[in-house]
């Protein structure tokens, strides 16, 4: 028996990195998986990597577009008839690739980063949660970041969006708890994914790869599968008495 047998799980950001690792493990643990991303190529690659026999629905959608989210949820319900788990993993670090100080940041940058990371998380919860409330069960796992707990120069839009995700996690847990719908978040530390690839490429090119992850107590960066393991724990019945929490999965970065 897998922990997610008979469970239907929506995974946003499933076309890359942490979302892909989460979708693949969910499939291995018995779930039917709805793969969602704005990037179709990544989604196809994730679908190709899913274990044999897993039921998959693949959907290109922008989580910041409410009409797209509404259509995604309707199609999931039509296909599977239920939604047990929502994993909100889609996110962006910036639109320009740069991380300017607050005095130089643009309104466009702020609006886009907040739209995907924070509004996108809210919209999927808004449209998925009623189906969970109707069945009096469900679990939602959002993806914040250590950047939402502590920050550094230049990360203002991303950090604010992730701090917002942590707070939204708590408020949504309060809104949905009476209906037995749990809402939690993970706060990953540095992980090698599409989002951070330039940082890793630069460090390797300058023989500084050993410094990546050196700011955390385990003295290494994380693997997407390690974040996926924490997401599956919070999503599963193993975490049945946990709601409204933000779990740092960061090698101890925020411990010191
Ligand atoms: P990634 O870039 O590899 O994956 C993010 C995925 O989200 C991509 O496939 C992208 O196409 C998708 N996406 C972007 N905008 C979208 C939208 N509007 N609608 C739907 N899909 C969209 O990055 P990742 O590192 O796997 O990031 C996953 C989550 O983890 C993000 O929320 C990110 O902020 C968070 N996170 C990552 C790190 C890290 O070090 N990689 C650290 C902390 C938090």
- pLDDT in the model for residue 67: 98
Q: Is residue 112 part of a domain?
A: yes
160-203 pLDDT per residue, tens = 999 999 999 999 999 999 999 999 999 999 999 999 999 999 99
Q: Is residue 201 part of a domain?
A: no
What is the extent of the structural domain holding 18?
Answer: 8-195+223-248
Return the minimum-mean-pLDDT range out of 70-79, 149-158, 172-181.
149-158
- Ligand 1 center from residue 228 Cα (angstroms): 13
Look up residue 177 and give its two tokens. 């708890």
Q: Is 143 in the pocket of ligand 1 (CB under 6 A)?
A: yes
Interatomic CA distance for residues 162 and 168, integer angstroms: 10
Q: Is residue 255 part of a domain?
A: no
Look up residue 152 and give its two tokens. 């550094």
Q: Produce one character per residue of 20-56: b if its CB has 16 or more CB atoms within 10 Å, e if not.
A: bbbbbbbbebbbbbbbbbbeeebbeebbeebeeebeb
Strand 85-88 versus strand 56-60 pairing type: unpaired
Q: How many structural domains are present in the chain?
A: 1
Interatomic CA distance for residues 147 and 152, integer angstroms: 8
Q: Is 37 in the pocket of ligand 1 (CB under 6 A)?
A: yes
Residue 195's CB is within 10 A of a number of other CB atoms, namely 17
Interatomic CA distance for residues 85 and 237, integer angstroms: 11
* CATH classification at residue 67: 3.40.50.720
Is residue 235 very low, low, confident or very high in pLDDT (cuts 50, 70, 90)? very high
- Ligand 1 center from residue 202 Cα (angstroms): 20
Q: Is 251 in the pocket of ligand 1 (CB under 6 A)?
A: no
160, 119 contact by CB (below 8 A)? no
Is residue 96 very low, low, confident or very high in pLDDT (cuts 50, 70, 90)? confident
Q: Is residue 253 part of a domain?
A: no
CA distances from 151 to 144, 146, 147, 163, 168 (A): 13, 8, 5, 10, 18
Return mean pLDDT, the chain: 96
Q: Is residue 46 part of a domain?
A: yes
Interatomic CA distance for residues 158 and 95, integer angstroms: 10
Q: Is residue 32 part of a domain?
A: yes
Strand 181-188 versus strand 246-249 pairing type: parallel
Average pLDDT of the residues in 42-56: 97
Phi then psi for 151, rounded to 5 degrees?
-135, 180
- Ligand 1 center from residue 187 Cα (angstroms): 13
Q: Is 158 a catalytic residue?
A: yes
End-to-end CA distance of the chain: 39
20, 224 contact by CB (below 8 A)? yes
With a pLDDT cut of 90, the percent of the chain lying above it is 89
Q: Is residue 240 part of a domain?
A: yes
Q: Is residue 202 part of a domain?
A: no
Interatomic CA distance for residues 106 and 87, integer angstroms: 30
Interatomic CA distance for residues 125 and 165, integer angstroms: 12
Residue 208 scores a pLDDT above 90:
no
- pLDDT in the model for residue 26: 98
Interatomic CA distance for residues 119 and 146, integer angstroms: 19
């Amino acid at each position: 028996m897998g922990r997610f047998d008979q469970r239907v799980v929506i995974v946003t950001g499933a076309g890359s990195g942490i979302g892909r690792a989460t979708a693949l493990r969910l499939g291995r643990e018995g779930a039917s998986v709805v793969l969602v991303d704005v990037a179709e190529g990544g989604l196809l690659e994730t679908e190709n990597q899913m274990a044999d026999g897993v039921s998959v629905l693949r959907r290109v959608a922008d989580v910041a577009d409410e009409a797209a989210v509404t259509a995604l949820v309707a199609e999931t319900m039509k296909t599977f008839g239920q939604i047990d788990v929502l994993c909100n993993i889609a996110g962006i670090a910036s639109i320009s690739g740069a991380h300017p100080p607050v005095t130089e940041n643009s309104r466009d940058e702020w609006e886009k980063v907040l739209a995907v990371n924070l509004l996108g998380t809210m919209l999927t919860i808004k449209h998925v949660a009623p189906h969970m409330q109707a069945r009096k069960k469900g679990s939602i796992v959002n993806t914040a970041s250590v950047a939402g707990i502590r920050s550094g120069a230049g990360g203002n839009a991303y950090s604010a969006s992730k701090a917002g995700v942590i707070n939204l996690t708590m408020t949504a847990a309060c809104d949905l708890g009476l209906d037995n719908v749990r809402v939690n978040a993970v706060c990953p530390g540095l992980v090698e994914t599409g989002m951070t690839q330039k940082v890793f490429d630069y460090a390797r090119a300058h023989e500084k790869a050993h410094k990546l992850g050196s700011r955390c107590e385990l003295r290494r960066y994380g693997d997407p599968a390690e974040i996926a393991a924490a997401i599956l724990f919070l999503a599963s019945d193993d975490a049945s008495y946990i709601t409204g929490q933000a779990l740092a999965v960061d090698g101890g970065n925020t411990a010191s």
